[in-house]
Amino acid sequence: MSNSRKRRDAEVFSLSFLDCICCGFGAVILVFILTVTKKTNVDKADVDIAREKLRAAQVNKLSTQQELDRIARILAAVQLELQDINAKNEQDQLKLSDRKRDLLLMLQQTGALKDALHSLLGEKKALPTEDIAPPVPIPNVDRRQYLTGVKLHGEFVVFIVRTSGSMLDETIDAAVARLEDTDQKKREAPKWQRVVQSLEWMLASLEEGTRFQILLFADETTPILPTRGDEWFSTKDRKTMSEVITKLHAIVPQGGANLERAFTSVRFLPRLPDSIVLITDGLPTKSDSLPMEGEIEEGHRIRFFDIATKQLPPRIPVSTILFPMLTGDPGAPGLYWQLANATRGALVSPARTWPDT
| pLDDT tens digits along 199-217 | 998 898 888 889 999 999 9
More confident residue, 215 or 22: 215
Please report, for residues 206, 286, 297, 303, 304, the alpha-carbon distance to residue 291 in angstroms, rounded to integers and kept in the order given: 37, 7, 13, 11, 9
Question: Helices (H), strands (E): how many in the chain?
Answer: 9, 7
More confident residue, 150 or 158: 158
The answer to whether the CB of 224 falls within 8 A of the CB of 200 is no
Task: Answer whether residue 122 shows pLDDT above 80.
Answer: no
The answer to whether the CB of 316 falls within 8 A of the CB of 276 is yes
Q: What is the pLDDT of residues 219-266, one digit of tens each?
A: 999 999 999 999 999 989 999 999 999 999 999 999 999 999 999 999
Q: What is the mean pLDDT of residues 184-194?
A: 94
For residue 144, the model assigns a pLDDT of 43
Q: What is the mean pLDDT of residues 307-319?
A: 94
For residue 320, the model assigns a pLDDT of 93
| pTM recorded for the entire structure | 0.61
Residue 132 C-beta-side C-alpha neighbours within 13 Å:
6
Q: What is the mean pLDDT of residues 82-97?
A: 85
Please report, for residues 172, 228, 268, 331, the alpha-carbon distance to residue 326 in angstroms, rounded to integers and kept in the order given: 8, 36, 34, 11
Q: What is the pLDDT of residues 292-306, one digit of tens each?
A: 888 888 899 999 999
Q: How far is Cα 323 from Cα 107, in angstroms, rounded to an integer?
A: 42
Rounded to the nearest integer, the mean pLDDT of the chain is 84
The answer to whether the CB of 149 falls within 8 A of the CB of 263 is no
Q: What is the mean pLDDT of residues 49-76?
A: 89
Task: Answer whether residue 3 shows pLDDT above 60.
Answer: no
Q: Which amino acid is at 116?
A: A
Q: What is the mean pLDDT of residues 147-175?
A: 86
The answer to whether the CB of 284 falls within 8 A of the CB of 336 is no
For residue 336, the model assigns a pLDDT of 94
More confident residue, 27 or 223: 223
The fraction of the chain above a pLDDT of 90, given in percent, is 45
217 strand-pairing partners: 162, 221
Residues contacting residue 189 through CB under 8 Å, at least 6 positions apart: 167, 168, 169, 178, 181, 253
For residue 247, the model assigns a pLDDT of 96
Closest to 214 (Cα-Cα) out of 192, 199, 198: 199
At 46, the pLDDT band (50, 70, 90 cuts) reads confident
For residue 259, the model assigns a pLDDT of 96
More confident residue, 45 or 336: 336
Q: What is the mean pLDDT of residues 184-207?
A: 91
For residue 251, the model assigns a pLDDT of 96
For residue 208, the model assigns a pLDDT of 84
Task: Answer whether residue 168 shows pLDDT above 90.
Answer: yes
More confident residue, 141 or 96: 96
